[in-house]
Amino acid sequence: MKAQVLTPDRELEIYQIGLKMKEQHLTSDFISAAVRTAVEFEGVYDLMRMWDEETDQKERDETLADIQDMIDDCAQTETGEAPYIKFTDLDAIAKNVHKFKDNLRIIVEKKCGLKELSKLTGIPQPSLSRFFSTSSMPRRTTLLKIAHALKLDAVTIATEWYR
């Protein structure tokens, strides 16, 4: 991640985009995290500018999901090595991840729905939609936000990949 060279004009632009995000009814938690991360990392600043300049709502939503991914990446504090995964195991892991997400989505729908989960977690709805629709490995920070919002204990939310 490339560190930001912050000028006063660029910092002001970040805050102005944050205000535009607020006008679009994005959560304060998300906007605050995006602004803090954009002040520090150029990639998030670039994505915020892309979001601001985009007119197509679908593309804007995708950009929001990308911003959330980068916020989560930048927030990672662990430095340990990830477990080695064999190439031949990827299909089985992807199926397990998708099954886990499908089961978690059922819990979400029973408890509150995706729109309310977005409000409770501060994660934009497009990011949550992407989270549930892909077989990508879930980030620990996302899982913890969801668990906290739904008042789930660690046993309910834990997966074999995060032990």
pLDDT for 88-119, tens place per residue? 766 776 778 888 888 889 999 999 999 999 99
Tokens of 16: 């102005």
Residue 43 makes CB contacts below 8 A (sequence gap 6+) with 1, 2, 70
* Residue-wise pLDDT tens digits, 20-48: 999 999 999 999 999 999 999 999 999 99
Question: Which residue in the block uniquely carries the two structure tokens 């089961």?
Answer: 103
Domains in the chain (CATH in brackets) are: 8-75 (no CATH), 87-162 (1.10.260.40)
Candidates 51, 53, 78, 52; CA nearest to 65 is: 51
Query: How many DSSP H helices and E strands does the chain contain?
Result: 9, 0
Cα separation, 62 vs 126, in Å, equals 7
- Smallest CA-to-CA distance from 14 within 33, 54, 26 is with 33
Phi, psi of 76 (to 5 degrees): -65, 125
Please give the model's pTM, rounded to 2 decimal places.
Answer: 0.66
